[in-house]
Amino acid sequence: MDDKALELRCPSCGAPVAARLRYAKLVVCEQCQTPLFLEDEAVAVAGERSVLAALPSLLRKGERYRYRARGFEPVGRARFDYGDGLWDEWWVVLDDGGGRWLSVDEGEFAVEAPLEIPEPLPSYESLALGAGVRIGEWDLTVTERNEARCLGVEGELPEPVLPGQSYRYAHLSGPRRRLVTLEFDRGARAYSGVWLDPFEVIPETGPA
């Protein structure tokens, strides 16, 4: 785990806020549940209080899980409403210290990491459902194109996702469970990963 205790105070309630992740950009105050931005060791209120604790989820912050041989721990999440349902975007820390986004949507799991590619990303408007698009080394098909609203956040996240804000995104699928996600409202960003077998994401009862 990437530990570096950064002692800050919540501007909303005054409680100490400890960010465990050196690269955390958003931390939810454990005392008053206010989402807080972290920027250059300063802290600012990032939105309204979160109410995620009341909603059920397949993963829990701070517990350990395993996918095949790899252990990981969810440290933060953002929950999104895309109109027809909800999904959770978890930031999980791997045993080697690296991090990934783990999406959970009605029992479907996908793991993704930021994708650096030299060419500019296609525009949201240009992505028609079913269209073929080449991103990086993959020939992909647009399988979803939508807008989702962030309902709330918990824990720590490496990117400032704002509760109440809407984000446009597209999912592109390729061979061998390949998934590329494009996001358009926090600068055009790309993430690449794979769909996981949900039955292989299992809780660990103790340290590996």
Question: Which CB sits closer to Zn ion, 18 or 117?
Answer: 18
Burial 49-70 (b: 16+ CB within 10 A, else e): ebebeeeebebebeebbebeee
Report the DSSP pairing between strands 16-21 and 3-9. antiparallel
Question: Which CB sits closer to Zn ion, 27 or 135?
Answer: 27
User: Which residues lie near Zn ion (CB under 5 A)?
Assistant: 10, 12-13, 15, 29, 31-32, 34
Question: Which CB sits closer to Zn ion, 46 or 121?
Answer: 46
Give the shortest CB-158-to-Zn ion separation in angstroms. Answer: 21
Give the shortest CB-90-to-Zn ion separation in angstroms. Answer: 22
Give the shortest CB-25-to-Zn ion separation in angstroms. Answer: 17
Task: Give CA torsion, residues 166, 108, 171, 164, to 10 deg.
Answer: 0
Report the alpha-carbon distance of residue 112 to residue 179 in Å, rounded: 8
What CA–CA distances, in Å, run from 99 to 45, 134, 158, 172?
Answer: 24, 26, 9, 22
Give the shortest CB-108-to-Zn ion separation in angstroms. Answer: 34
Question: Which CB sits closer to Zn ion, 61 or 100?
Answer: 61
Question: Which CB sits closer to Zn ion, 28 or 161?
Answer: 28
Give the shortest CB-15-to-Zn ion separation in angstroms. Answer: 5
Q: Cα 187 to chain center, whole Å? A: 16
Q: Which of 153, 154, 151, 160 is nearest to 189 (CA)?
A: 160
